[in-house]
Chain A
Amino acid sequence: MNNLLSLEQGVAAIKRDDPWTLVRDAEAPLPEGALILPLALWLSRRIAPDPPHDAVWLGPDDEVEHLQPWLEVLPLIALDFPSFRDGRAYSQAYLLRTRMGWHGELRAVGDVLRDQLSHMRQCGFDGFAVREDKSAADALKGLAGMSVSYGRSVIEPRPLFRRR
């Protein structure tokens, strides 16, 4: 994917050599290379005798719990923001990270914009496929957010009252 920001060991950078291709249209012929597939398609390919090493993306209507049996084999999970105003992926990210124990890359895809990146980061995303018409360099400025957060989050499980 292009226009990607990634967070590695707490350091954010523009990632220029990302191998993954996001497949939105499950009907169209699949491109070559490393693919991020919608859940149903991913599952259908998974049951093949020699399953490919695909990644999966979930829409906000998909239940993250469906991924529980596959966490060992998934190389990457992406969560889709069909609109940046749809906040369901924040809760999906929380559940994947905190409850289901997903430690691999969690990538935000879709309507991913600078002013929401810090919320995504706090909810456990570490890959951010910034919308292609926006500048990734500019979006990078939104990743840090504010220095204070009251509540707990994925990256800081202790609420402020346990730290202040």
Chain B
Amino acid sequence: MYRYDEYDRALVFERVAQFRDQVERFIAGDLSEEEFLPLRLQNGLYLQKHAYMLRVAIPYGTLGAQQLRTLASIARDYDRGYGHFTTRQNMQFNWIELQQVPDILQRLAEVDMHAIQTSGNCVRNITTEAFAGVAADELLDPRPLAEILRQWSTINPEFLFLPRKFKIAICSAHQDRAAIMMHDIGLYLYPDTDGQMLLRVLVGGGLGRTPILGLQIREGLPWQHLLSYVEAVLRVYNRHGRRDNKYKARIKILVKALGIEAFSREVEEEWQHLRDGPAQLTTDEYQRVAAAFVPPPYQALPDTDLDYGTQMADSPAFARWVTRNVQPHKVPGYSSVVLSTKPGIAAPPGDVTAAQMDAVAQWAEQFGFGEIRIAHEQNIVLPDVPKARLHALWSLACAQGLGSANVGLLTDIIACPGGDFCALANAKSIPIAQAIQQRFDNLDYLHDLGDISLNISGCINACGHHHIGNIGILGVDKNGSEWYQITLGGAQGKASALGKVIGPAFSAAQVPDVISRLIATYVRYRESDEPFIDTVQRIGLEPFKERVYGAMVQPA
């Protein structure tokens, strides 16, 4: 893990002092609501329906055990005993008092953490996949460049008042688990034939009310040019992005308006002024940062463990958990474990209590090397667990309510906080997620159905990424009441696709039936082990629509 040196530390502590002063001036009336707004947003503070919400940055989803304990202590001391993991690998606290925020930020700074630029019209948290550095299908470790980008984008004075928010993700595995096509800039890192690191640069991806997949503007960019190239993109965007309408202000709209060729030309022209200048990364800097991500001291373990085999044979429940929640690791004898935060009715997707956070921190030290990752799917990952110890970890996880064997299944729902918390939402998300989880509570059936992603957003801002769920649910407002529009066929990863609306929206009470009918249609048409998304792509939307709208469900 990256550890702060005196520069990093000075920056976060000075930032806390600066924000403490701004909060005091706001409370004293010296700063107006309008003047304070971007200052608090750039320190992660939103005003929601009932209270302030603080979004803490978890850079590229990586946490140390002590950092997670600190988050637990914040949940306990300043919130209602829990926190919520977001799809961008951050943690949100929903019940925060403004006066206490400087103290919370101080507590974060003490463990090399902050909430800088987790909101506002600036470059947000740099994300990558949860298995970075350990995934069996990884080409290169994306974390050093993610950290370098984090530093470059933090309080970069030219780019703090962009037309709109700006999200960057980087990934370097055969499977894209970082959803890079949905980002303002998506970076794919890969080696050339000599092992030199190159970048493929995509721009203009994003969900929200105009969902668009990112388009490639550069192939084979040597890594040394990462910062100058990103700077060129941001300068073009800052100068020319629309500012007259916040719904048309994301870079995707500019890319669409200019066309990808013209946009690329602008960027290349700007970049010609910057390339080979002081922004060019040095090998020294790369190595300084990469030294923080060297592999931990793995033991030499046999790749197959006898006890582990026996435990699988003896406990079908454990075996099922292994099938869904355990991921292959680069190092023989090790695995990565996904702890599901989607237990169903017991807790909303992504919510974790302080006690659970403390337990996870303990397991990270007991079974791994003290490291924890947060996945884009709002789950928790322990990246380095010896196979021989999986059973012990599973037992503990079950006792803490973190042992659901449903990763990638229909009940592993991605959902935004929705109308229960968010001032922007048209409709609630959490009760819908829980009603679906309740309907599909038979694990055998869920496992038989296999991989199905279901995403719920409470409004068109699409924080639950409903466009890229195999099944997407979008909360809409119709004459003051809450309705839900269903999309089918979305996918993330390299075969990313945007779902299509199946027809008129449904009431909350109808949603579980609709999902049942979609699933029944899949079961009827699937060929052998065909995954849900493949069946949808093969047979199209019609059979699903017929089953949903032709029968008992009355569309609105």
Contacts and interface: CB of A to CB of B under 8 A. Distances in A.
B192 interface: no
Interface string A125-147: 00000000000001000000011
Given A90-B158, A123-B157, A159-B227, A147 B278 contact: no
Contacts of B157: 90, 118-120, 122-123, 149, 151, 153
Interface residues of B, number: 41
Interface of A: 60, 84-88, 90-92, 94, 99, 113, 115-116, 118-120, 122-123, 138, 146-153, 157-162, 164
B160 A87 contact: yes
A151 to B, nearest CB: 4
B39 A162 contact: no
A71 to B, nearest CB: 17
Given A153-B157, A158-B278, A87 B14 contact: no
- Smallest CB-CB A-B distances: 5 pairs: A87-B161, A119-B157, A161-B285, A122-B157, A150-B151
Nearest to A122: B157
B32 to A, nearest CB: 10
B524 interface: no
Contact of A91 (B158, B278, B279, B284): B158
Contacts of A92: 239
B238 interface: yes
Given A99-B273, A148-B7, A161 B281 contact: yes
A91 B239 contact: yes
A151 B117 CA distance: 15
Interface centre among A91, A123, A157 (most CB of B within 10 A): A91
Contacts of B279: 152, 159
B159 A87 contact: yes
B154 interface: yes
Contacts of A151: 151-153, 156-157, 227
Residues of A contacting B: mostly: loop
Given A91-B239, A148-B10, A149-B157, 6 more contacts: A88-B239, A115-B39, A118-B157, A123-B157, A151-B153, A159-B152
Interface in B1-56: 5, 7-8, 10-11, 14-15, 18, 22, 30-31, 35, 38-39
Contact of A149 (B155, B161, B238): B155
Contacts of B38: 84-85
Nearest to B7: A148
A150 B238 contact: no
A81 B284 CA distance: 39
Contacts of B288: 161
Nearest to B239: A91
Contact of B282 (A84, A91, A152, A162): A162
B127 interface: no
A99 B5 CA distance: 33
Contact of B11 (A60, A91, A146, A157): A146
Given A91-B239, A123-B158, A164-B5, A150 B11 contact: yes
Nearest to A131: B35
Contacts of A120: 157
